[in-house]
Structure 1
């Protein structure tokens, strides 16, 4: 019953959006071809989404085909929300004028020219997210950005002054469709020539075989002092309807085996000491720990036999772990590296001026570098993409961090 009610509400909202959007088109243009094209595109997108949603194998999780259908649906719906806000506001104003006219007997007839002007403004503003979504689906998801930070610590061992880390996160190989673009991204990672490479989880969407066509791409990743990785929430197969429990167990083992195939040392609530000129720093990796779900990670287990005075770098996929647990821990984790949020793959970022995404209403640390009491966390925006097959304003990220002796 609840599902039926939700579908009825969704259908009513779509009808409302389409009604006002078409009214705006009718107001500014009498051309029947333009009107027909508008209706045809909308109907085609809805029909495609329904067909894909009803026919795709849910046992495969979100396939690229489903993601594209969802992406096109959002591309046509979100701009129409902007049109709705303007046109509905105009209608309220018109109804208010009619009410005043009825009460005062004054002639306050709304002007058709104002209606046309409002329609032009609404459609003009709606064109911005429409064009942005189209770009995001076609090119934005491959618009890789290298973000570089230099962090200073008083207790960093002298031998590690100038030590560099490349962080990547959230590959989500099950979403990929363009091998040449992904190879370009991998080449860009290698061009950073960092001392170590750290991958902070979500190598697949759900199934290990999603990575089969990409092993020969990601095994080209290079780092002078080694490559280390952890698991993300998607790597456990929790978002699939498995035919039997053993299939899920087998898949999880295969996902863990992928890391070895591409040359990464997978840390499962473990740590490694990185040594240089007789000095060392601790690198820790925990399984996924998210606020309110999948709290598999065991920080105490990963930190066993590590001393408080050791310099520590922690890999933990979900930044809520840092907010809830890590930053308060007396063992003092100097630098935490996370991913998970993708910055919702949508937002506005103007360096030094503006940084906004709906993701910030869910995660306090959602993208970039944060610091509290001398403890840092970097939330990588992700290398790949998931659910929405593109990126709008929040670009795929390769992070390079240089450690300096303060």
Structure 2
């Protein structure tokens, strides 16, 4: 950690100093120069203090997460600004060398200050974009809840469930929340959908069940006619923090299970329930976390489907979409709809409905956000209700999914 802190601090200082050369070209007022230096210094100092005082096992949240977010925003500002100026200096150097070799006079080879000022202005404008976006994501974007609605058609949906509405939420990560009013707004937005059932697809906490205690009263107010069901995500097992003993870790998981029950969630652990309507029914299955690439593989699909028929209409709750890709799609039971989360859309990307849908997380997950269809089966990958690590969201907003089931051929 010490080596990392030294290296990142050196990169930060060099980029800030190099960028300052362009800043001086644009702004002659000495007070602006002081402001530039003090802001960069404050962001670095705050970050170093938070990292030094960080207690391993506490999770990247709260003050250390905010300090890291601000530091990274200033780091990007300095890097982008500095890179543009460095490229311009490299061009200057090559032109200067060429002109010397060509024997041109200084009058003929002069680079006017206005050119440097122009380049600095362009560089600062471009650098300000990621800087502003990261700060906006921290202070506004992380609670910019969006209700995304989908209508999915099926040939074999029981007639009684035509028009049946599901609200899916995922990845609450309650340990990262810092604004009760905003979270309450999100809960109210879920209830306003008046769905038949609410399904939560894992990661209630970052690490510890105690993180949810401050928010349990809010999530207890979630209501749906046919109830609310939940599963566990990879973070719910407490694998990413330290524990005094294995018994303490196991107790934490039991505490989280009990807390979910107290909040009114029916936690499905490799099992299933039937949702019934007008004498017809659909099967709702929930598995424990199963994830590719080093994530816990606790989910047992075979156990969850024991007792249901191949002919049943089936909705599966599985936290990690890699489970759908690697296991579920190949299963001969044909799972009509799978609901997942986990990816968060990396909390960063660009989405313009109908035009662009991009995030760096697509390089790891083929199915990373929204609805996908393969082999006549659907999956919805929810972008998450909360956030973790970077305390914000840029372009990929917190999501409340509302899915309406439709029977093909019915009006």
When the two structures are superposed, what TM-score results if normalisation uses the length of structure 2? 0.95
For 1:112 and 1:296, the matched residues in 2 are separated by 64
Indicate the RMSD between aligned Cα atoms, in angstroms: 1.5
**2:353 equivalent among 351, 354, 365:** 351
For the structure 1 residues 327 and 84, does the alpha-carbon distance in structure 2 shift closer, same or farther, using more than 3 Å as the test? farther
For 1:405 and 1:85, the matched residues in 2 are separated by 56
**1:25 equivalent among 16, 23, 26:** 23
CA contact (8 A) 1:97 1:109 kept: no
Q: CA deviation at 1:67?
A: 1.2
For 1:105 and 1:242, the matched residues in 2 are separated by 72
2:157 paired residue number: 156
1:16 paired residue number: 14
Q: CA deviation at 1:170?
A: 0.7
CA contact (8 A) 1:166 1:399 kept: yes
Q: CA deviation at 1:204?
A: 0.6
Structure 1: 4+ residue segments shifted above 6 A: none
For 1:177 and 1:259, the matched residues in 2 are separated by 21
For 1:330 and 1:144, the matched residues in 2 are separated by 37
Q: Deviations over 1:215-238 (max 9, x none)?
A: 111100001111100011110101
1:176 paired residue number: 177
Which SS does the other structure have where 2:57 is aligned? helix
For 2:83 and 2:328, the matched residues in 1 are separated by 43
Moved more, 284-293 or 189-198: 284-293
For 1:259 and 1:329, the matched residues in 2 are separated by 30
**1:398 equivalent among 376, 389, 400:** 400
Q: CA deviation at 1:403?
A: 0.2
Q: CA deviation at 1:7?
A: 4.8
For 2:92 and 2:2, the matched residues in 1 are separated by 34
For the structure 1 residues 141 and 5, does the alpha-carbon distance in structure 2 shift closer, same or farther, using more than 3 Å as the test? closer
For 1:297 and 1:105, the matched residues in 2 are separated by 74
For 1:344 and 1:78, the matched residues in 2 are separated by 18
For 1:183 and 1:77, the matched residues in 2 are separated by 33
Equivalent positions of 1:249-268 (< 5 A) are 249-268=250-269
**1:99 equivalent among 97, 100, 107:** 97
**1:327 equivalent among 320, 326, 329:** 329
Equivalent positions of 1:5-404 (< 5 A) are 6-7=4-5, 9-107=7-105, 108-292=109-293, 293-404=295-406
Moved more, 128-137 or 46-55: 128-137
Which SS does the other structure have where 1:404 is aligned? strand
CA contact (8 A) 1:97 1:110 kept: no
For the structure 1 residues 243 and 335, does the alpha-carbon distance in structure 2 shift closer, same or farther, using more than 3 Å as the test? same
For 1:283 and 1:41, the matched residues in 2 are separated by 53
Moved more, 261-270 or 71-80: 71-80
Q: Which runs of 5+ in 1 are unaligned?
A: none
Q: Which runs of 5+ in 2 are unaligned?
A: none
Q: CA deviation at 1:98?
A: 2.2
Q: CA deviation at 1:155?
A: 0.9
Q: CA deviation at 1:103?
A: 3.0
CA contact (8 A) 2:171 2:203 kept: yes
Q: CA deviation at 1:6?
A: 4.5
Which SS does the other structure have where 1:76 is aligned? helix
Q: Deviations over 1:123-165 (max 9, x none)?
A: 1122222222222211211111100000000011111111100
For 2:262 and 2:391, the matched residues in 1 are separated by 27
Q: CA deviation at 1:31?
A: 1.3
Which SS does the other structure have where 1:389 is aligned? coil
Which SS does the other structure have where 1:378 is aligned? strand
